[in-house]
A and B are shown apart, each in its own frame.
Chain A
Amino acid sequence: MPQQPPPPEAPKLPTFKHTMKAGMAGGEQMLEVNITEGDLKPWDLDSKLRVVGKRQPRLEGPQKVTGRAKYTFDMALPGMLWGTMVRASIPAGEILKIDTSKAESMPGVKAVWTTESRTVRFAGQDVAAVAAATPEQAMDAARAIKVEYDERPYVTDIQKAMEADAPNVYEEREIPGPPNVKKKGNIVGPNTNPTTGLRGDVEKALAEAPLTIEATYVLPVHTHSPLETHGVLARWDGDQLLIYASTQGTFTVRDGVADALKIDRKNVQVLVEHMGGGFGSKLAPSASGSAFAVVACKLAKQAGAPVKLMLDRREEHICTGNAPSAVMTMRLGATRDGMLTAIHHKSFGGPGIAGGAATGGPSALMYTNVPNLKIEDHNVFTNAGPQAPLRAPGFPQGAFGLESAVDEMAFKAGIDPMEFRRKNESSPVRKLQYDIGAKAIGWERRNQKPGEGTGNKRRGIGLANGCWNVSTNPRPGAEVKVHRDGSVEVFSGAQDVGTGFRTAMAIVVAEELGLKPTDVAPRIGNSNYPFGPASGGSNVTNSVAPVVRLAANGARQKLFAIAAPLLGAKPEDLDAADGKIFLIKQPGKSVAFKQVAAKMSGEVITATAERKPQYEVYRREIAGTQFAEVEVDIDTGNVRVIKMVSVNDCGIPLNPLTTESQIIGAMIQGASWALFENRILDRNVGTMVNPNLESYKVLSASDMFEAVSLLTPVANGGQNTSTAGIGEPPIVPTLACIANAVFNATGARVRRLPITPDVMLAALADAKRRA
């Protein structure tokens, strides 16, 4: 979800001016910002923070490592039934008949659902569902449901889908896509954003450029494969609906299910205490290719009992979303001394039956000094499961195209690939990041001439750049409670998808109240708590932290008002740290936090806050660069990553321990994409060949490399914590980075992912032929 919907036109609130020390250490810049009255001044490079920035193990850790943490998948309620779905076995056609009669009479079966939709567009679409007393009975009943189809011609291959005589996924009149964009057959496009995707005259610049390259880069569909599959447990109590959901959007599920069932949002409560990964696939109320959450609620209503409906691994692959495939033709022009003059990014993306396969983002956001740019995105429909946002949707694909092509141009110009990028760099942050990463990877060890090594195992080092938009949600709220006994809670309805959000919010409160993070109990993942955004666009921490800080500051003010007379001082003369409230000028004069809490007039101090408007920022994009060292066995074609270094803009990191974990995780998921992952559809029957975790190969412990995350904090402003989301940016460069390292190792350019041994050997043979 790169873009948030624009906030409703808010009345202009009074503001005050403030100058902050923004930017990155070594590239500081004073930035004047206009802050809404009632908001706090932002943390910046001069802020002396006591808790923020320390390495804090996750507060829920002991629950997770002992198996006590209850995920949706682990929940059970008395009398609970088990739901299972039946999915379309054909890729295209009409459903003629769904016969559930046998299933309905089977042991344990309490409810049956069938779809009202008759048109099948991919193998895996929702057809029917059952709820039964045991999972085994549900499985038996689902197998007993007989579906008759009228099969139609279909297409599962993106190249085939572009041919004139290919079967059409949609009828001419119903082709989805943005208005004013050409729609023909299975193709929607070209789509060019006139503001960010078009500068100068690309054709003229390419015709005049002394150096040009043109190459096509191809990568397959990658599935999110979170380890906890999608699923819910739904329980009705009269008109009150309770849903435990494995989701990235507590409120998305609440609103989406309420709207689908035509019931009030106030009657729906969604709980997400722990969730087992999503990577973008769990942003929908159910999933991009299934309405299972709504179906589970309907089954529960029909059966008069709670229903737990968790998808299985096969379903997770085929109907819950994926990262689209892409075929990208890149044309670059440059001067002899290596200044890029033109970028033409022409992309055909394969998102199955959905839209949203654009890959032009990196070409729009990076190298903005290049005078001529044209991005032409195309969406190509196939009869396959719809895409869903995956970790910087479209950007890892787009960066594979752009950053591979930039690497090819650097080679053509005879310039070191890092120096070439530095010459063309438009980001002041990345300019500072190159040397940090180069030092950590040992850039000087790279082959001066690609493939110059000897022996059958060749090592090489490459780099690639990444970028992402600073995204922010204007609507979160937060609440902080301080109880008479001194215990503290912070409430946000947003969910922790494994990012460390829960712990990060405790850190923010601890900073304001002068406590330890372990003194604060975070209460999250509950739609009855203040609104928090869905985990998309890397916007949860940076949208919720400022409002949590504001609420905590409200509690702080109330506590200072109680403490002031105890210390014979005014509230504004006080500060809080190490569990004490003290005089700023006389830190020895203090009173314990708990003592102050004990003096409150009621039982609890409550402070709530709403998000204040976002203000000026230092940079609108998050910059990063990545380096990889690989080893290629030129006899077997086996590629192994030895080491990766990621240098990332990360705002002011609240908890470097978990921030680094996310970045390391992004490198691993990216390396897995570059080397192993490949959703394979059987073109003869239209179904997925490898819907599992052994032949859909993901990077495992034995493939692991040395992963180094180097944070380059950037005080960015925009809101009072200067935090940035980091879930997405570090996966953007990884694919290209590994391909570029492979080139340095072997002199063979790989333009197709994943770099499996056959692909590597073909590239080596091709390079040999050319040499």
Chain B
Amino acid sequence: MAKAPEDRSKKDPSFTRRSFLKSAGVGAAATTLAGAVEDAVAAPAVLGPDAVALSLKINGQAKTVTVEPRVTLLRALRNHLDLTGAKEVCDRGGCGACTVMLDGDPVCSCLMLAADAVGREITTVEGLGTPEKMSPVQAAFVECDGYQCGFCTPGFVVASTAFLSKNPSASPSVDEIKAGLAGNICRCGTYGRIFEAVQKAAKAAPRTSAVRKG
């Protein structure tokens, strides 16, 4: 299941409370405020409102994108980097169509700012395989007819890939797969065949190397 992106301070050891306070411009009040904000969610450095250049690592390649700080990772990928596999469907983390992997974890790229993805390994559906050389998950989706209109498919393929990377079993149960894909919606109604595809891909090992084992 794709999750809302995690609090950056928990992932990035260099992003400390001190850097938060510095970037928040608290200055002289820092000492007194420090206690009060001890457990507060860390905020990023102040950016914008004008466009800023961001360096992103996408599918193993370094990319620079210049966007307003309010631009989501999803829109940066789609509208600025021509990576249109991830889709914007609900725009609020309710459907999983925008799922990408961040350091191997599935996340809703519509819920995350592009600026917050700096320094992370971003993997999109395009990075998993090509029409000529599909990943085992992608090939299984085709074989099992794990889609109809195909609009949710990139999100399901990424979520399935992430699920399998964390579940090394060659025969995951349907209940396990359901839990792994609970954040994704298919309106054409193909879930059963998606489960079959995931089971087929699980047997097909080896797991795709694009994903960090969790």
Q: Among the listed stretches B39-47, B141-149, B206-214, which one makes contact with chain A, having 4 or more residues with CB under 8 Å of it?
A: B141-149
Check B178–A702 contact: CB distance below 8 A.
yes
CA distance A66 to B84 in the complex (A): 10
Contacts of B65 in A (CB 8 A): none
CA distance A64 to B151 in the complex (A): 8
Check B84–A74 contact: CB distance below 8 A.
yes
8 Å CB interface, B56-110 against A: 68, 70-71, 75, 78-79, 82-95, 97
CA distance A498 to B151 in the complex (A): 9
8 Å CB interface, A650-674 against B: 657-658, 660-662, 664-669, 672
CA distance A57 to B93 in the complex (A): 31
A38-82 to B contact mask, C-beta < 8 Å, 1/0: 000000000000000000011011111111111101101000000
8 Å CB interface, A683-720 against B: 692-694, 698-702, 704, 706-707
Whether A457 sits at the interface, judged by CB under 8 Å, is no
Check B131–A694 contact: CB distance below 8 A.
no
Which of B84, B91, B186, B188 has a CB less than 8 Å from the CB of A313? B91
Which of B83, B86, B137, B143 has a CB less than 8 Å from the CB of A57? B143
Whether A419 sits at the interface, judged by CB under 8 Å, is no
Check B126–A67 contact: CB distance below 8 A.
yes
A472-506 to B contact mask, C-beta < 8 Å, 1/0: 00000000000000000000000001111000000
Check B75–A664 contact: CB distance below 8 A.
no
Contact count band on A: 35 or more
Whether B118 sits at the interface, judged by CB under 8 Å, is no
B121-147 to A contact mask, C-beta < 8 Å, 1/0: 000111011111010011101110111
CA distance A193 to B24 in the complex (A): 71
Contacts of A657 in B (CB 8 A): 145
Q: Among the listed stretches B4-12, B13-21, B192-200, which one makes contact with chain A, having 4 or more residues with CB under 8 Å of it?
A: B192-200
Contacts of A134 in B (CB 8 A): 68, 79
Check A67–B125 contact: CB distance below 8 A.
yes
Which of B78, B134, B192 has a CB less than 8 Å from the CB of A704? B192
Instruction: Select the residue from B89, B151, B177 with max chain A CB neighbours within 10 A.
Output: B151
Which of A228, A312, A669, A694 has a CB less than 8 Å from the CB of B151? A228
Which of A67, A73, A693 has a CB less than 8 Å from the CB of B90? A693
User: Assuming A227-B95, A693-B89, is B195 touching A67 (CB within 8 A)?
Assistant: no
CA distance A704 to B181 in the complex (A): 11
Check A226–B149 contact: CB distance below 8 A.
yes
Q: Among the listed stretches A122-130, A269-277, A408-416, A461-469, which one makes contact with chain B, having 4 or more residues with CB under 8 Å of it?
A: A269-277
Nearest CB of A to B63, in Å: 16
User: Assuming A65-B134, A66-B85, A74-B78, is B191 touching A701 (CB within 8 A)?
Assistant: yes
Contacts of B71 in A (CB 8 A): 136
Whether B182 sits at the interface, judged by CB under 8 Å, is yes
Instruction: Select the residue from B146, B153, B184 with max chain A CB neighbours within 10 A.
Output: B153
Contacts of A668 in B (CB 8 A): 189, 191
Instruction: Select the residue from B68, B92, B148, B153 with max chain A CB neighbours within 10 A.
Output: B148
Which of A65, A665, A692 has a CB less than 8 Å from the CB of B157? A65
Residue of B nearest to A225 (CB): B187
Check B138–A698 contact: CB distance below 8 A.
no
Whether A613 sits at the interface, judged by CB under 8 Å, is no
Residue of B nearest to A82 (CB): B79
Whether A135 sits at the interface, judged by CB under 8 Å, is yes
Nearest CB of B to A109, in Å: 16
CA distance A694 to B110 in the complex (A): 15
Nearest CB of B to A549, in Å: 23
Residue of A nearest to B79 (CB): A135
Whether B168 sits at the interface, judged by CB under 8 Å, is no
Contacts of B182 in A (CB 8 A): 700-702
User: Assuming A136-B70, A228-B151, is B131 touching A66 (CB within 8 A)?
Assistant: yes
Check A661–B134 contact: CB distance below 8 A.
no
CA distance A499 to B94 in the complex (A): 25
Nearest CB of B to A506, in Å: 15
Residue of B nearest to A655 (CB): B145
Check B185–A693 contact: CB distance below 8 A.
yes
Check B68–A136 contact: CB distance below 8 A.
yes
Contacts of A312 in B (CB 8 A): 91
Check B94–A693 contact: CB distance below 8 A.
yes
Contacts of A707 in B (CB 8 A): 189, 192
Check A66–B125 contact: CB distance below 8 A.
yes
Check B142–A57 contact: CB distance below 8 A.
yes
Check A498–B90 contact: CB distance below 8 A.
no
Contacts of A135 in B (CB 8 A): 75, 79
Nearest CB of B to A476, in Å: 22
Contacts of B28 in A (CB 8 A): none
Residue of B nearest to A279 (CB): B187
Which of B177, B183, B185, B194 has a CB less than 8 Å from the CB of A227? B185
CA distance A60 to B153 in the complex (A): 12
Contacts of A274 in B (CB 8 A): 149-150
Which of A136, A669, A702, A706 has a CB less than 8 Å from the CB of B187? A669
CA distance A694 to B94 in the complex (A): 5
Which of A498, A660, A664, A693 has a CB less than 8 Å from the CB of B95? A693
Whether B55 sits at the interface, judged by CB under 8 Å, is no
Whether B190 sits at the interface, judged by CB under 8 Å, is yes
CA distance A694 to B128 in the complex (A): 28
Nearest CB of B to A721, in Å: 21
Contacts of B78 in A (CB 8 A): 74
Check B131–A68 contact: CB distance below 8 A.
yes
CA distance A665 to B84 in the complex (A): 25
Check B97–A227 contact: CB distance below 8 A.
yes
User: Assuming A67-B126, A665-B188, A701-B181, is B138 touching A275 (CB within 8 A)?
Assistant: no
Contacts of A698 in B (CB 8 A): 185, 187
CA distance A210 to B37 in the complex (A): 77
User: Assuming A66-B138, A70-B84, is B150 touching A498 (CB within 8 A)?
Assistant: yes
Check B145–A661 contact: CB distance below 8 A.
yes
Which of B91, B151, B181 has a CB less than 8 Å from the CB of A277? B151
Contacts of B151 in A (CB 8 A): 71, 73, 226-228, 276-277
CA distance A672 to B187 in the complex (A): 10
Check A664–B193 contact: CB distance below 8 A.
yes
Residue of A nearest to B179 (CB): A702
CA distance A660 to B179 in the complex (A): 25
Contacts of A667 in B (CB 8 A): 189
Residue of B nearest to A672 (CB): B189
Whether B202 sits at the interface, judged by CB under 8 Å, is no
Check A277–B188 contact: CB distance below 8 A.
yes
Check B128–A66 contact: CB distance below 8 A.
yes
Contacts of B190 in A (CB 8 A): 661, 664-665
Residue of B nearest to A65 (CB): B138
Contacts of B124 in A (CB 8 A): 67
Contacts of A76 in B (CB 8 A): 79, 82
Residue of B nearest to A497 (CB): B149
CA distance A228 to B89 in the complex (A): 6
CA distance A497 to B188 in the complex (A): 10
User: Assuming A58-B145, A227-B149, A498-B148, is B94 touching A67 (CB within 8 A)?
Assistant: no
Nearest CB of B to A74, in Å: 4
CA distance A227 to B98 in the complex (A): 11
User: Assuming A276-B150, A704-B178, is B83 touching A61 (CB within 8 A)?
Assistant: no
A265-303 to B contact mask, C-beta < 8 Å, 1/0: 000000000111101000000000000000000000000
Interface residues of chain A, those whose CB is within 8 Å of chain B, are 57-58, 60-71, 73-74, 76, 134-136, 225-229, 274-277, 279, 312-313, 497-500, 657-658, 660-662, 664-669, 672, 692-694, 698-702, 704, 706-707
| Sample of 28 A–B contacts (CB below 8 Å) | A58-B142, A58-B145, A61-B141, A65-B139, A65-B141, A66-B138, A67-B157, A68-B126, A73-B87, A73-B151, A76-B82, A134-B68, A136-B70, A227-B149, A276-B150, A277-B187, A313-B90, A313-B92, A498-B149, A500-B148, A661-B188, A668-B191, A669-B187, A692-B90, A692-B94, A694-B94, A698-B185, A700-B191
Going nearest first, the 6 A-B pairs with the smallest beta carbon separation are A67-B85, A668-B189, A276-B151, A498-B149, A665-B189, A64-B150
Interface residues of chain B, those whose CB is within 8 Å of chain A, are 68, 70-71, 75, 78-79, 82-95, 97, 124-126, 128-132, 134, 137-139, 141-143, 145-154, 157, 177-179, 181-195
